[in-house]
Amino acid sequence: MTKPPSAFDALMSGARAAAAAAAKKKKSEQSQQPTASSSKKRKPSSSTLPTPTSTLNPNEEPEKEGPPPTKTRHVSSSSALQELKKRVPQLTAKPSKFDPSSVACWEKGTPVPFSLLALALDMISLEPGRIKMTDIACNLMKTVIYSTPEDLVPLIYLLAKRVAPAHEGLELGIGETSIIKALAEATGRTESKIKKLYQDEGDLGKVAKECRSSQSMMRKPEALTIRKVFNTFRLIAKESGRDSQMKKKNHIKALLVAATDCEPKYLIRFLQGKLRIGVAEQTLLAALGQAAVQSEEHSKPPAGIKSPLEEAVKIVKQVYSVLPVYDEIVSALLTHGVWKLPSTCNFTPGIPVGPMLSKPRKGISDILNSLQDVQFTCEYKYDGERAQVHYMENGSVEIYSRNAERNTGKFPDVVAAISRLKKSTVSSFVLDCEIVGYNREKQTIRPFQDLTTRPRKNVSVDNIKVDVCIFAFDILYLNGRVLLQDNLKIRREHLYASFEEETGVFQYATAITSNDTEEIQKFLDKAVGSSCEGLIIKTLNEDSTYEPSNRSNNWLKLKKDYLDNIGDSMDLVPIAAFHGRVYGAFLLACYDYNNEEFQSICKIGTGFTEEVLEERSKSLGSQVIPGPKRYYRYGDKMKPDVWFEASEVWEVKAADLTISPVHRAAVGIVDSDKVAEMYNVQKATQTKEKETTKQDGSESPKKQICSEDEDEDEDEVADEDVDVDVMHMKMKISELLSYTIVPIESQHFC
């Protein structure tokens, strides 16, 4: 999703929910997993890791340093850990050559030690390439399938940094303060000491590791297992009401007390929901597909499949886009095998499917070339929030965002409208639509920015400041029937027959069916004139099924931004920055000669190569001033981390200028108190970010992104853009083109 600042926020909040999200409630807690798919019985290794149920030693002394642990079981002997450490490097083997018994040095069938995951994550963190990362994740899964298949679900959730599927919205809900408190109590240090170490180190995970390793323990509590950690995370996520923070803290403390070696580091990082652990969703799904094929029982592909590994990965990804619930997929996979997945895991009302996405095209002729001899339709591309509305047989409604976040509480007006305007023949449906800010008096679409001022949760219908109109463009499910495989023409007929339109409340996306260049051009102009971003062109008849999560050639977007003749560059001055790994984002300002002031116009997230970003950060680092100059104009809500002397000018190519409630450019000229904002700079720079990620396969460049909120949830960006296409980059329209360092006479402005 590429949005102006506040949408970027929405993305980040989606990520937050997702990063903290987790497993399907009952299932994972019941550890109901099917049996091991490995049929060969191998002898457990002689040097087994002690299991959690082993030797209780009531005679041991409580440890001297730190509070005594609640349990006094002695488990994980350091020799067992050493043995595991010796074996773990084998996880980097090619999955086809990897023998899980070479790593599984604990008793088969017993819970898999958490240290295996922690050590594997250490290895993954050293791997820049996606392929190697996938191999390690795959081998890790193979090991778990071989040893203790019921631990596969918890393993996958931990790798995915979730505690439940995204749509359940279950979050760990712990702040850094609680983590620090728990860490202090678990290690017997003061909170201020931990804070100090954190400040010096910059990484609470490392602090945790150091504190643990420097703490001598007379006796150790039970060794952590993957399932124990995961179940505790779920408990943490579910604690609510009074004392919940305290209870959460105690859960964390119990985990920390039991953690050894590099375990504390990863526990903390999981709890913080940090990027530096885990694997992107698509990598995880690929690893799962491969691990499934290579696990013995179900490895035989049906006849005619030439490349089983690739095919299995495709199946797992496809099934996940229709039913994004690991519990279901893993269970089906272990019971019936990967080849039966498409029939064992199906679309389920109430669970959001991945939204179909579009590919950018540069112009109408480009579109006509791509879609020769194919019937297609053009629709307005509305600039709002994607919504998948599920209306269940019992009349309940759920609204999901593009990232499968549950948005129902944000749009009670949509819930009401949809229930009122569905025809009486309709008993259940899943609607794909764009929710757009709307001025009902003037009957006009409001800018995207206005929509983002709506609170995210617990909105009450009586207190809505920004009305919305639902622009419906697809229907995926109707009266108990899944329509994903029907072509768009049929789906549309169903859609048009299912609702009453009401201007400004519920409308069908404006559409024409034409392949005449001039007509399409006029339609595009009309779309832009009606505050839309451009058009989405969709195949109508053949090859026009709904493709969940796919950025498909059957949906092409034509944004006004992309057209060659629009978009000019502007000379802007960085006046402040927001922290990231280097500076995460800069606040840019234009110079107003009349008022002799710098007025903020946009934040620029990236759009530069890492090299240029590094260079600019360094250069501006020497221009830091204690606070904003009095001739800087910026919105009250802008809270950059550092301010700069106005010292250099950057040429920035922009797609669009819109009225901004935040920035101060052209204040008083454009609108009495509102101002212009170059928000598309951010849209495009975020896109660029995605491509960087894809191309080099690493995740680190994402750290450059900074949103209006904290930068803690960057990882979701990676998850969702695995299939961002390179075309996008070529036609990127707003980017940092060049920068010139122009000395600016500061006395001039004083």
Ligand X SMILES: Nc1ncnc2c1ncn2[C@@H]1O[C@H](COP(=O)(O)OP(=O)(O)OP(=O)(O)O)[C@@H](O)[C@H]1O
The window from 319-327, 374-382, 616-624, 737-745 that contacts ligand X (CB under 6 A) reads: 374-382
**Residue of the chain from 24, 189, 265, 381 that contacts ligand X (CB under 6 A):** 381
Angle (CA) 692 695 701, round 5°? 35
Q: Which is nearer to ligand X, 83 or 434 (CB)?
A: 434
Q: Which is nearer to ligand X, 259 or 357 (CB)?
A: 357
**From ligand X, Mg ion, none, which one binds at residue 660 (CB under 5 to 8 Å depending on kind)?**
none
The window from 2-10, 210-218, 551-559, 730-738 that contacts Mg ion (CB under 5 A) reads: 2-10
Q: Which is nearer to ligand X, 238 or 557 (CB)?
A: 557
Please report how close the Cβ of residue 724 comes to ligand X at its closest, in angstroms. Answer: 8
Please report how close the Cβ of residue 281 comes to ligand X at its closest, in angstroms. Answer: 17
Comparing every residue's Cβ against Mg ion, the nearest one is: 2
Q: Which is nearer to Mg ion, 238 or 410 (CB)?
A: 410
Please report how close the Cβ of residue 698 comes to ligand X at its closest, in angstroms. Answer: 22
Q: Look-up: residue for tokens 């669009």?
A: 656
Is residue 359 part of the annotated active site? The answer reads no
Please report whether residue 539 would count as binding ligand X according to CB under 6 A. no
**From Mg ion, ligand X, none, which one binds at residue 269 (CB under 5 to 8 Å depending on kind)?**
none
The helix (run of H) or strand (run of E) holding residue 737 is strand 736-740
Q: Which is nearer to ligand X, 273 or 354 (CB)?
A: 354
Rounded CA-CA distance 36/541 in Å is 45
Partner residues linked to 227 by β-bridges: none
Please report whether residue 734 would count as binding Mg ion according to CB under 5 A. no
- Which residues are CB-neighbours of 386 under 8 A, at least 6 positions away? 1, 355, 401, 402, 432, 433, 434, 435
Please report how close the Cβ of residue 417 comes to ligand X at its closest, in angstroms. Answer: 18
Secondary structure of residue 736 in the 3-state scheme: strand
**Residue of the chain from 2, 38, 401, 682 that contacts Mg ion (CB under 5 A):** 2
Please report whether residue 554 would count as binding ligand X according to CB under 6 A. no
- Which residues are CB-neighbours of 122 under 8 A, at least 6 positions away? 262
**Residue of the chain from 146, 266, 347, 382 that contacts ligand X (CB under 6 A):** 382
**Residue of the chain from 1, 279, 613, 665 that contacts ligand X (CB under 6 A):** 1
The secondary structure of 559-627, three-state, reads EHHHCCCCCCEEEEEEEEEEECCCEEEEEEEEEECCCCEEEEEEEECCCCCHHHHHHHHHHHHCCEECC
**From ligand X, Mg ion, none, which one binds at residue 357 (CB under 5 to 8 Å depending on kind)?**
ligand X
Q: Are 548 and 351 in contact (CB under 8 A)?
A: no
- DSSP character string of 240-270: -STTHHHHHHHHHHHHHHH--TTHHHHHHHH
Which of positions 472-531 make contact with ligand X (CB under 6 A)?
Answer: 473, 509
Q: Which is nearer to ligand X, 101 or 553 (CB)?
A: 553
- The structure tokens listed for 578 are 């927001």
Q: Are 454 and 410 in contact (CB under 8 A)?
A: yes
**From ligand X, Mg ion, none, which one binds at residue 379 (CB under 5 to 8 Å depending on kind)?**
ligand X
Provide φ and ψ at 507, rounded to 5°.
-135, 155
Please report whether residue 115 would count as binding Mg ion according to CB under 5 A. no
Please report how close the Cβ of residue 415 comes to ligand X at its closest, in angstroms. Answer: 19
Rounded CA-CA distance 514/378 in Å is 8
Rounded CA-CA distance 589/599 in Å is 5
- The structure tokens listed for 391 are 């209306």
- DSSP character string of 398-437: EEE-TTS-B-GGG-HHHHHHHHHHB-TT---EEEEEEEEE
Instruction: Check the CA dihedral 85-86-89-90 and report its sign.
Output: negative
**From ligand X, Mg ion, none, which one binds at residue 14 (CB under 5 to 8 Å depending on kind)?**
none
**Residue of the chain from 274, 317, 494, 557 that contacts ligand X (CB under 6 A):** 557
Please report whether residue 402 would count as binding ligand X according to CB under 6 A. yes
The window from 111-119, 312-320, 350-358, 694-702 that contacts ligand X (CB under 6 A) reads: 350-358
Please report whether residue 536 would count as binding ligand X according to CB under 6 A. yes
**From Mg ion, ligand X, none, which one binds at residue 438 (CB under 5 to 8 Å depending on kind)?**
none
Please report whether residue 4 would count as binding ligand X according to CB under 6 A. no
Please report whether residue 403 would count as binding Mg ion according to CB under 5 A. no
Q: Which is nearer to ligand X, 5 or 289 (CB)?
A: 5
The secondary structure of 371-404, three-state, reads CCCCCEEEEEECCCEEEEEEECCCCCEEEECCCC
**From Mg ion, ligand X, none, which one binds at residue 646 (CB under 5 to 8 Å depending on kind)?**
none
Please report whether residue 452 would count as binding ligand X according to CB under 6 A. no
Q: Are 293 and 142 in contact (CB under 8 A)?
A: no
Please report whether residue 358 would count as binding Mg ion according to CB under 5 A. no
The secondary structure of 306-372, three-state, reads CCHHHHHHHHHHHHHHHCCCHHHHHHHHHHHCHHHHHHHCCCCCCCCCCCCEEEECCCHHHHHHHCC
Report which DSSP code applies to 485.
T
Q: Which is nearer to Mg ion, 2 or 143 (CB)?
A: 2
Buried/exposed 525-560: b ≥16 CB within 10 Å, e otherwise: eebbeebbbbbbbbbbeeebbbbbbbbbebbbbbbb
Please report whether residue 401 would count as binding Mg ion according to CB under 5 A. no
**Residue of the chain from 63, 434, 486, 715 that contacts ligand X (CB under 6 A):** 434
Secondary structure of residue 451 in the 3-state scheme: helix
The window from 1-9, 22-30, 102-110, 168-176 that contacts Mg ion (CB under 5 A) reads: 1-9
Please report whether residue 2 would count as binding ligand X according to CB under 6 A. yes
Q: Which is nearer to ligand X, 382 or 583 (CB)?
A: 382
Provide φ and ψ at 570, rounded to 5°.
-130, 150
**Residue of the chain from 33, 110, 358, 408 that contacts ligand X (CB under 6 A):** 358
- Could you give the dihedral angle defined by the CA atoms of residues 692, 696, 697 and 702, in that order, rounded to the nearest 10 degrees? -30
Q: Kindly name the residue from 161, 381, 422, 732 that is annotated as catalytic.
A: 381
The window from 88-96, 124-132, 380-388, 415-423 that contacts ligand X (CB under 6 A) reads: 380-388
**From ligand X, Mg ion, none, which one binds at residue 355 (CB under 5 to 8 Å depending on kind)?**
ligand X
Please report whether residue 379 would count as binding ligand X according to CB under 6 A. yes
Please report whether residue 487 would count as binding Mg ion according to CB under 5 A. no
Q: Which residues are catalytic?
A: 381
- Site for Mg ion, rule CB under 5 A: 2
- Site for ligand X, rule CB under 6 A: 1-2, 355, 357-358, 379-382, 386, 402, 434, 473, 509, 536, 557
